[in-house]
Amino acid sequence: MCGRFSVYIDDVELKNRFPSHDVAPFLGVKITNFAPTMEMPVIIENQVVNMKWGLIPSWSQNKSFANKLINARCETLLEKPSFKNLVNTQRCIVPSNGFYEWDPVSKLPYFIKPADSSLMNFCGLHTLWMDENRRPVNTFTIITTKSNQIMSEIHNRMPVILEQGSEHKWLDRANSFAEVRNLVKPISDSSISISRIEKVI
């Protein structure tokens, strides 16, 4: 699961990793405790779009889905009505510098970040929903997978984190989901570091 993460991103690294995107919407966005229903810039195939966290399917009659669909389990993406029509053409990347998870026993939070403190890119899906006043609302969900070995000591799920260099393959709509499915997996233990913290600020 991924229920909180940090969007405190190095602007220079973001520009280097996504040279064909206008990343201006990210400049000045520094949120260390990003929560469901909050809005942030999200990267799609050829642009950056502000979206709210918590996917609302286009066919939904109201926004109640948002809090239920902050995550999408990779194992059931092709089965769930909310996701199966998005996997081929509505993929996105949610940039971060790390996410939080709470130990089920001590209840203390841990911060999980890249081992080299670089950018952490989550695999996501996005869609456009029209509210009751016919105003467009862009929303996204983060895809999760089973935890790698070191993460499993805290929780049995973790977000799908893209390995550096695979971002554009994931975003390219010319690639079917079958062609990018191999990217949807737990990241290696050596790619992340886990630190216990006193509280999430």
Q: Which positions are catalytic?
A: 2, 101
Amino acid letter, residue 86: L
Phi, psi for residue 124 in degrees, rounded to 5? -145, 175
DSSP output for 76-111: GTTT-TTTTTTTTT-EEEEEESEEEEE-TTT--EEE
Would you say 60 and 68 are in contact if contact means Cβ atoms under 8 Å apart?
Answer: no
Note the maximum CA span of the chain.
48
Q: What is the DSSP letter of 63?
A: G
Would you say 128 and 58 are in contact if contact means Cβ atoms under 8 Å apart?
Answer: yes
What is the Cα–Cα distance from 192 to 116, expressed in whole angstroms? 8
Residue 98 pairs in a beta bridge with 6
Written as six digits, the tokens of 19 are: 């040279």
